[in-house]
Amino acid sequence: MRKPDLMVSKDKMNNNNNNNNSNSNVKSKLRKGLWSPEEDEKLLRYMITKGQGCWSDIARNAGLQRCGKSCRLRWINYLRPDLKRGAFSPQEEDLIIHLHSILGNRWSQIAARLPGRTDNEIKNFWNSTVKKRLKTNNSTPSPNNSDSSEPKDVLGGILPINEHELMTMCIDSSSSTSSSSMQSMHAMVLTDQFDPFPMLTNRYDMTGATDNFPDMHACLNHVGMVDGLHGDYGILEPNKMGLESDFNLPSLESKSIENNSAPINVKSHNNHFNNICFNNTEQIQNSNVEDLFGFGNHGQGENFRMGEWDLDGLMQDISYFPSLDFQV
DNA sequence: AAACGTAGCAACCGCTCCCTC
DNA sequence: GGAGGGAGCGGTTGCTACGTT
């Protein structure tokens, strides 16, 4: 995780680049490289108010000297309100390893099972951390630890998790917002009741960052995070920020989470604006795992052994998981 | 204290897939 | 059916902070 001063220095560099490039932009050159805060805000505001569409149009209409592709990447990997920042939890790490054993380097598919995480983030995490760790743990390279993009089975190998743990992790990490959340935020933005960019506004001054999130405190209370927000800018203490009531933020990963209704876990943000994550630990606590996954219906039950399946069969069976909507 | 190596992250590139005409 | 354009994905690169020598 980068330190705040790093981000500042990066942003300074960005601004310099921006300034330098702004001249060349006159010559209708598309900008490349790191995004400036101003660009972020433009894109974010546009996405919040107008919603998704053709990315090249978005780039143009938002007044950005960027190609649509770059805008899409920035939005997906950085600006999306439902992004979860910070280090991967051990559960997430296990889940990534497990899913990678099933899906291989299909990062987008893996990311779809880790709400709030992006494929890029997971890919970086894998390449920088997990791969190394697996290599360390298993000095003798096994097929499971190879870089191959082909799915491999690691059950019975390095992973200390069983099917229930996997399911718990899936549920735990399954995010949950409804499309109505986007609509409500959209409406709030349109009526100036809600500033979706507090960290843009308070980029280097986190002391007032959450003043713009008047409803964060309840969320923090709900998920037991009243101690504060831990981010690269330090620890934010919600009770010192005048946080009061509830608010909703949208998830764009509706395809995997749209049917859930979980509390919002407001965690932290290390960069431009607030991070929202949607861990739903209560859901699993209050639910019967077999009910959730339909084991009784599908006859997997205690005999559920992924390692014994071929990929096709696995995809077929795992598709029953509420948060595992494989598209293979 | 400086040089060098490493880690982590953001962004780009090139390819493929899908949709529309 | 095929051409064109947009979206999405995975691999790769570049940059900066941090750690080590």
Over residues A144-183, the pLDDT tens digits come to 444 444 444 443 333 433 444 444 444 444 433 333 444 4
- At A137 the pLDDT is 64
Q: Which residues touch strand B (CB under 7 A)?
A: A 1-2, 31-35, 66, 69-70, 73-74, 77-78, 87, 120-121, 123-125, 128-129, 132, 271
Report residue A324 as tokens. Answer: 């595992």
pTM for the structure as a whole: 0.55
Q: pLDDT by residue (tens digit) across A248-268? A: 333 333 333 333 333 333 333
Whether the pLDDT of residue A274 is over 70: the answer is no
Query: Would you list the DSSP string of A101-113?
Result: HHH-S-HHHHHHT
Q: pLDDT by residue (tens digit) across A119-140? A: 888 888 888 777 777 666 655 4
- Radius of gyration for the alpha carbons in chain A, expressed in angstroms and rounded: 21
- What average pLDDT score do residues A187-200 get? 43
> Would you tell me how many other CB atoms lie within 10 Å of the CB of residue A52?
11
Whether the pLDDT of residue A74 is over 50: the answer is yes
pLDDT confidence of A59, banded at 50, 70, 90? confident
Report residue A78 as tokens. Answer: 């950085």
Q: Which residue has the tokens 């997997």?
A: A300
Strand B positions with any atom < 7 Å from protein CB? Answer: 7-14
Q: What is the mean pLDDT of chain A?
A: 52
Q: pLDDT by residue (tens digit) across A91-101? A: 888 888 888 88
Contact status, residue A48 vs residue A35, Cβ threshold 8 Å: no
Report residue A236 as tokens. Answer: 């934010």
